[in-house]
Every structure is written in structure tokens, then in C-alpha cells.
Chain A
Amino acid sequence: MDEKNQTTGAPAASEADVLLDVQDLKVSYHTYAGVVQSVRGVSFSLEPGGTLAIVGESGCGKSVSAKAIMGLVKDPGVVDPQSHIVFKGRDTATFTKEDWRSYKGGSASMIFQEALSALDPTTRVGKQITEAILAHEKVSKEEAKKRAIELLHEVGIPEPERRFKQFPHELSGGMRQRVMISIAFACNPELLICDEPTTALDVTIQDQILSEIREMQRRHGTAVIMITHDMGVVADIARDMVVMYSGLIVERGSVADIFAHPRHPYTKALLAAVPRVDQSRSDELAAIQGTPPDLINPPTGCPFCTRCPYRMDVCTKAMPSETDFGSGHRASCWLHDERSPRVDEVIQAASEEGGAR
């Protein structure tokens, strides 16, 4: 990977080839139980046309990060004022209401996990596409309708004229997600955030939807952030990935590097949990023991220490810093600290054990 394509390294790349630069993003939710620190300082960047996967289990803050980038964090959620989300060199914190409106759905759009709940049940699908077009461009209603039908055709919906007039409940699950894709691409966005777009679909449809997203991305030159917990999706679509755990990025790098040499015990465990075709049916599926930490009182040390098989004393006491493994591959784990004992053996053994394939 050459320097120009690096999307996950430190946000140091020159502004020209960075589409989105997220720095120290913190989001918290004020609840009766206390302040839930959903995202606790996340930084990454994305170049125009690039694809980044954000991976992690439920509640790790990946969806909240996506919402923050889209400006959709709602009360009781609060984005820390020290956070910076810089889109094409402009900090979204300086956006006016009008800027936000042209950004949402215009420059940046989002595909949601469940198309059924993300489409208004009482509005015809066609209208939901045209209103996205009409919100951003000065075109006539007929023109918008023509464009919408073209879009439906483009995402592989047969009989687009008929589908245009139908209600969401009259479409199949895959078709609904295609409608969501056509809404997302209605105004040629430069950034598309997909929040687990295939989780609610069955496997064959998942594949079709992913190819549709990839195809649309290629055609429109859109940069994609793919939020998922499915390693198969990551391998399929992304070039770079970040692994999130309890509101923090624990590992980042190219998908190839991370799949080949996962450096963080959590990444290793995630990869080991992927079911394999050659696995015997009697074998139990690998799982990560324990539960993620409480984000109302996050641990002072490494958040994964309670579930980590390689825990050391220091892990419970202090946050590890990022270790660079070259070409943008970094992980935050004490095992890679130079003061840590027999790092190489532990990692080697772990790689063989976790990724023995």
C-alpha cells in the first residue's frame, strides 16, 4: 500500500487527498443511569473513493460514530466539542444549518441496517427517492421522478415504474435495501456510510447487495465507510479497516495486513470466531468469553483486559499506546510495548492458535 492510499493512518496526510478526517471523536449519552461514553476518542481518515470498514461487536460505538459523522446524534447524545469531523477540509462544527442540509444526503449519505424501518411505511418508495433529489437540486418533479426511476433501474430493481408507486411493505427485504441504496446515491454523494446494510438479509441477498454497493461506488466514485461485525463483508468490500472495542479503536490497517497478522488479542478473537467451511459440525463455534465493559464507568486500563487471555498487570492500570507495525498497521496493546516480556513468542503462538488455517 503506497502512502497515497493510506486511509487509516494518523490524520497527517495532506488535505487535498483526504475526504473525511475524524479526530478524537467522543460521543456520550446522558441517561438516568449515568453518562454512557459510547465513543471515547476515535480518529481515522478516508480518501476520496476509498473504502474503510469499521468492525466491532454490538455496542462498541461503531454506529454512534457513523451517526456523529452524519450529524445525526440526537439528544440525549452529545458529541464532545473537542472532537473534529473534517469533511473536505471543513470542520463540520462550523457548518451552518444550510451547510448541514446540503451535506446530509447531498455530499454524504447513509444506508441503514434495516431498510424496512428506515423507509416511511406510509409514503410510496418513489416519493422517498424524489424528495431526496428535490431537497438538494433545483429540478422539476417530473425530472426527479425520471431520475428516481433510473436509479431504481440502476440498482437492479425490475419494473422500476411499477415499484416507484409501491409502498415499502410491498417490496421484499432485498428490494427495500436496493431502494435505500438508490436513495443514498440519489445526489451523487462523495461519502457513503453503510451501517450494517446486510445484517437483516439472508446470505444470497447479502452478496447481491454488497456487489450493488460496490458497483455503485465504482460508478459514482464514492468513498464508503462500511460498518459491520461480519468479517466476510469486510474481506469482500473494504481495503482498510479499523477494529473498535468499547468506544476505542484497538487496531487499524489494511484488511490484508490485519487478516494475515492480527496484532490485537481482540482482533484475533474476532477472526477466530468466524465459522469456517472446513470446520466439523460437531466443533463448537469459537466465542469471546465475558461481556464488554460498562461504558458508564469505563476501565482505566485496556478495555479488553477483562476478557483477554494474555492479560498482564499493566493492562488493568493504564491504556496502552498505539504500536506501529508499518504501512499504517497499528494496534493498541501492551503486548507490543518494548518493555513487555517475550512479545514475539506470545504473538506468534497466538497467531498460530487463533489463525491456524
Chain B
Amino acid sequence: MVKYALKRFATMIVMLFIVATATFFMLAAVPGDALTERTARLPEDVAARVYARYGLDKPAPERYVITMRGLVVGDFGESIVFPGQTVQSVIAEKGPISLRLGFQQVILGVGIGLILGVIATVRKNTWVDYGIIAFSILMVSVPTLVFGLLLQQVFAGTLGWFPVIGWPSGDELMFGGWEYTVLPTLAGSFGYMAMYARLLKASMSDVLGQDYILAAEARGLSKGQIVRRHMIRNAAIPIVTKLPMTIAMCLTGSFYIETIFAIPGLGRYYIQAISGRDVTMVMGFTVVIAAMYMVVIFLTDILYHVVDPRIQLAGKTSR
């Protein structure tokens, strides 16, 4: 187990290095930079000083070395577009906002999705099942962008039940100000509902056809006991692998939802940083997000082994 963890850790370092390198050179290859517009009307010597301040006057290989050295010690550098901001300060400021939005979306979406999945399985081949599947297909097909705008139009505009835009701040940052969070949470959770409803239905149906379910019934177990003891655990295997990824996704924020509802979260900031060629911020975020995904994947592999004892972690001798 320890050996396995160490091996995975080493792989992660290598992968992070590759991600950082690729990101750096891709950004460097893009014509123009964050300062092009800002320095366009400045005298040449002033412009050169601005460039020198951000180190953008140096050739790419040299900047690469400086950037990578900074990454090792956790110094991602200062934002080029917004002076004084660093990756850490932005994450500390906007992270909680995206975190809350993401968690609310995942809890609502996955929760309802799993319930729908169970109902669709239990009521298989009835109108309830067809209804849930039709709903899921509709939900995955319509972009969140459209949902966001529709919800705003109906519930904030016509009915006026909720504010159109905005997000709780200050004391209410993590708890409270619910009326602001309802619509964005809802808009972002439909996709999860659809995905998990279908995923669970598929895996439950698969498990339902297995001999061990028939054998459990032949042993005299009640339907409830069979579902609780034998179906859920086996059907959970695909869910468990998907869930950590979903959580990771929600932490990185959702650009569309944050934009439509004017939520000052990470997703919107990241996209702005990319379009503004804010090289240091993009580098920093990319590496942080990549690292987070890698940790999540590692945890997923361990979880896999917990739910399904047949899966052995590499480096552990079987039996």
C-alpha cells in the first residue's frame, strides 16, 4: 500500500511537470500577450519598462526556467492583468464561492440522480422509467447555459421568486443567502441528475440480471434485503469511480453558470485569465487543477479497491 502510494506520487510529479511544460509553451506560442493592448499607446521606453516588470522581456526558455523554479517552491507569480493578485490570493478569495456552488450542485444533482436511478430500476419498463429516461436525455442534451437563462427568465423574471443575479458574501458566504443560490445550483445540477440517474439505472439493471441476485432470492432474502445487501454495493462500483471526478469538476467552478448569474467564482476568473493572456495566473491555475485531479484519481483507485475487493492495487501480492 505504501509502496503503491509512493509509486503513484512519483508518477504524479512527472505528470505535473509535463502539464506545466506543455501549458507554458502553448501559452508562449500564442501571438500577443497580456501587455500588448496595455502598452500599445505608451512610449517605447515606458512599454519596455512595463514588460521588464513582469519579466516578459526575457526570451521564452529563460522565462520557462524562472516559471518552473517558481512552481517548485509554490510561487506562481503575480497576475499580469490585475496587479498585486497572486494565484493563492485569488483561490483564497474566489475558491469558497465556487466550492459552495459546486457542492450544492453535486449534492442536489447526484442525490436526486441516484434516487431517480433507483426508481427507474424498480419501476423498469413502466411510464415512470420511460419518463425518467426521457428527462435524463433532455437534461444532458440541453446546455447549462440555456437552463440558466430559462430559470432566470421564469423564476427570477416572470415569477420574481428569486434574485436574477448575485451571490451571498461576507457572513453569508458559506451559509445563508439561499435565495441567491437556488437558481444557479438548480441550473448546474440538472446535468448531474441526468448523468447519475442513467449511470445508476444501467449498473442496477446489470446487477439485477446477475446470478448472485437470483441466488440471494433463492436463499429467501426479501427484496429490500437483496437491494440493500447485494445490489447497492455492486451497483456502486461505477458510481464510485465517477463521483470523485464530479467533485473535482465542481471545485474548479462552472464558467457558464458563474457568468450568467454574475457569481465571482473561480470558473469565470480562469476563463478571463485565459482570454486576457494572464500567463502567470493560467499557469498557476492549470497546475493546481491538474494536481487536484491527480489526487482525486488516486483516491478513486483506492476507493475502487474498498468497494470491490476483487480489484487489487498494484504492488500488493494477491491472496
Contact = CB atoms under 8 A, between A and B. Distances in A.
Contacts of B319: 170
Interface residues of B, number: 23
Nearest to A187: B220
Interface string B226-239: 00011001100000
Contacts of A119: 212, 215
Contacts of A291: none
B169 interface: no
Interface string A104-133: 111001101010011111110000100110
Contacts, number: 83
Max count, chain B CB within 10 A of own CB: residue among A103, A119, A128: A128
B222 A101 contact: yes
B41 interface: no
A183 interface: yes
Nearest to B312: A169
Nearest to A109: B218
Nearest to A183: B219
B229 A131 contact: yes
Nearest to A101: B220
Contacts of B216: 120, 128, 131
A106 B211 contact: no
A268 interface: no
A214 interface: no
Given A70-B218, A110-B218, A121 B211 contact: no
A127 B35 CA distance: 67
A131 B221 contact: yes
A259 interface: no
A102 interface: yes
Given A117-B211, A120-B230, A123-B230, A135 B220 contact: yes
Contact of A121 (B214, B217, B219, B308): B308
A105 B218 contact: yes
Nearest to B308: A122
B212 A121 contact: yes
B245 to A, nearest CB: 22
Interface in A165-193: 167, 169-170, 180, 183, 186-187
Interface in B188-238: 210-212, 214-222, 225, 229-230, 233-234
Contact of B220 (A75, A102, A122): A102
A101 B231 CA distance: 18
Interface of B: 125, 210-212, 214-222, 225, 229-230, 233-234, 307-310, 319
What 6 A-B pairs are tightest by C-beta distance, nearest first? A105-B220, A105-B219, A117-B211, A118-B215, A132-B219, A135-B220
Interface of A: 67, 70, 72, 74-75, 101-106, 109-110, 112, 114, 117-123, 128, 131-132, 135-136, 167, 169-170, 180, 183, 186-187
